[in-house]
Amino acid sequence: MSSQSPSISFEIFPPNPAVGNEKIMVALKEMQDLAPHFISVTASNNKFNIEETTVRLADFIRNDLHIPTIAHLPAVYLTKEMVTETLTALDKVGVHKVLALRGDILPDVEPQKDFVYATDLIEYIKKEAPHFEIVGACYPEGHPDSPNQISDIQNLKKKVDAGCSSLLTQLFFDNESFYDFQDKCILAGIEVPIHAGIMPILNRNQALRLLKTCENIYLPRKFCSILDKYEHDPESLRAAGLAYAIDQIVDLVTQDVAGVHLYTMNNSDTAHQIYQATHTFFDK
């Protein structure tokens, strides 16, 4: 058994710029006393300007809250010049860690040609801005574009070899699929820490959205029963969703996971409740 405690980190997403950042800044301040190892900030793939959204919040997290931060950077709709501009903006605010992503290919929008895969972006950052630390995304149950998990893990190996220091997973509800994935990564020679993405289900709309967009994610019977039983009982659905996430985390830490990355959905109450139930497990 590893004697090292795992890390706990949070993910937030920038609101639509028309809405403004006031609410998310309040939520972030409320998360500050939990002292997460880092907070990652998602980025729009094609819709919003990354500097006005992601970079601005990453700046706030690093420089006002003094919490390490990771800026997500999906590049399939960016040119090399645009990536360089974003890296320069991050440099200016002292954020030097990015989650290098391809981004989803949208059905009606032609991608740019510079970054076909995340690996292309990683190679570009390594060349243009080698002082940046790079994290990659991974998919315990396979990426939806992949014909099978073996080719997905072979591609992941190329991505890590291009220069990722760690990986963050897509959310999952079945820990066994995560353990199986970890074992296959080790066999493939992938040795960087893998942080497990956990999303507590807190309401019916969130659950419905998730079921629509994550068709490759296995939903265990225990999880489906929660959704069925408490479909019309928001309070119980929230309590059961939190309990399910906490149960997943307890299991992960006892199996020596490198880190837990909590998809907070910008909700500081969720972060607090999960932290309160699990904080003794995490590295201080």
**Minimal distance, residue 158 CB to ligand FAD, in Å:** 5
Assign 221 to helix, strand or coil.
Answer: helix
Among 64, 91, 133, 145, binds ligand FAD (CB under 6 A): 145
**Minimal distance, residue 143 CB to ligand FAD, in Å:** 4
Of the pair 137, 237, the CB lying nearest ligand FAD is at 137
Q: Alpha-carbon torsion 76, 79, 83, 85, what sign?
A: negative
CB atoms within 10 A of CB 1: 6
- Is there a catalytic annotation at residue 128? no
Integer CA distances (angstroms), 114 to 81, 145, 163, 168, in order: 10, 19, 18, 24
Size of the site for ligand FAD (CB under 6 A): 24
Q: Where are the beta strands (DSSP E) in 85-153?
A: 97-101, 133-138
Question: 191 CB contacts (<8 Å, ≥6 apart)?
Answer: none
Hey, what are 12's tokens? 């937030």
Residues 157-196 that bind ligand FAD (CB under 6 A): 158-159, 168, 170
What number of H helices and E strands is found in the chain? 10, 8
Residue 101 binds ligand FAD (CB under 6 A): yes
**Minimal distance, residue 230 CB to ligand FAD, in Å:** 27
The span of 26-34, 114-122, 214-222, 226-234 binding ligand FAD (CB under 6 A) equals 114-122
The amino acid occupying position 178 is F
Rounded to an integer, what distance in angstroms lies between the CA atom of residue 136 and that of residue 156?
Answer: 9
Options 11, 81, 110, 215, the catalytic residue: 11
Rounded to an integer, what distance in angstroms lies between the CA atom of residue 115 and that of residue 138?
Answer: 18
Among 49, 84, 155, 267, binds ligand FAD (CB under 6 A): 155
Among 70, 98, 152, 217, binds ligand FAD (CB under 6 A): 152
Residue 74 binds ligand FAD (CB under 6 A): yes
Main-chain phi, psi angles of 243, to 5 degrees = -60, -40
Among 143, 157, 204, 272, binds ligand FAD (CB under 6 A): 143
Rounded to an integer, what distance in angstroms lies between the CA atom of residue 80 and that of residue 86?
Answer: 10
Among 32, 65, 117, 272, binds ligand FAD (CB under 6 A): 117
Assign 98 to helix, strand or coil.
Answer: strand
The span of 113-121, 208-216, 228-236, 239-247 binding ligand FAD (CB under 6 A) equals 113-121
Of the pair 195, 238, the CB lying nearest ligand FAD is at 195
Q: Using CB under 6 A as the criterion, which residues of the chain lie in contact with ligand FAD when the complex forms?
A: 42-43, 45, 72, 74, 99, 101-104, 117-119, 137, 143, 145-146, 152, 155, 158-159, 168, 170, 197
